[in-house]
Structure 1
Amino acid sequence: MQFELEFDTSHLTYVLRAARGEIEHPEGMLDSIGFTLLQQNRKRHDAGLDPNGQPWKPLSPLTLQATDPKTKQPIKRKSQQPLLRSGEMLKALHKDVNGDELRVFFWGNVEAERARYHQFGTKPRVITPRNSPVLAFAGIVTKRVNHPGLPKRELIGFPDSDRDLVENVATDHLQRVLQQARAK
């Protein structure tokens, strides 16, 4: 007794081409990953959490008492949480895909510069007036201030939870690509 089996493997050619295309040109997958990481970082930012899920250090009482130098009115805050006064900082959070590289970063406005100070914190320093004879902040008028520095409030990072998320997004992306190739 003899059996003869024939297999049509032509669909494997499409699948292998699709897989090779994703390896050679990962921009689509990296764009999906970047979008997901942006969303994750924005959620943590809105919740006032660092990348590891720890709350940011609270604002100092003097910062909460600050007034606008022009109007002398208390500064309006969207939130009493750090880094959420105006909501502008999140507008400076971007992603960029270039070939096989993905970057998530702050760029583009004054809030992007401030983000750097919060990401790494600052050292204590002396502040003196630049354009007037005195400094005025939170009802205090003085010629110099010994600023204690900003505490580190990490804004972006890549914790284990993000690694798991990236793995899931990459897997989903590749499955969609391979399913489309099989359908040809």
Structure 2
Amino acid sequence: MGATAVGSGSYIDARIVGDALDIQQKVIHGFNSSSDARLALLRGDIFGMWSSLTSAMKGVRNAQEKIVLQLGPHRHPSMPAIPATGEILDSLGGGTDGAKLVDIWHALNEVGRVIVAPPDVDESKLAFLRQVVESSVNDEEFVQLAAESRRDLAFLPSHELQQLVESFAALETDLRFELLSLARSE
């Protein structure tokens, strides 16, 4: 399985899902970019790689790549024939430490990027900042521009993000350390 750097999303995806599904694999990391990993895939140097949907679609449209598995609790509506990691783990009974790690990884991937403020920011300023961000990502012109650029917008309201942070903090200590260790080299 190809990946860019140790700790990158493609590396962690491969490690977490590989461990949870007991995939016998070696994660080859060190590609300068996902484009370099993709070239290695096309040459047959690696048998797979994790990628964002938007990055993979060019190869799919050109019949150079096939999507085998999608990372998420459920199938994306645009790919109903391709299984999702969550449903596979559920079919295997779920509940394992590996399945729990994949669940939290799904949630963290749902978030994507976050905007942070200093810990001592005044609550009224924090509420204002959250409202500005929410208004911006729901702005019709912004949504239209994202659609024209073929960029998915998936805004997670601050209260849902807070729940996610709390669920990660509530993870058993050994699972939290396991998740962090999967971001390191094998």
Report the TM-score range of the alignment, normalised by the length of the smaller protein. Answer: under 0.3
Larger RCO (CA within 8 A; separation ≥ 6): 1
Greater per-residue helix proportion: 2
The TM-score with structure 2 as length reference comes to: 0.22
Greater per-residue strand proportion: 1
| Bigger Cα Rg | 1
The TM-score with structure 1 as length reference comes to: 0.22
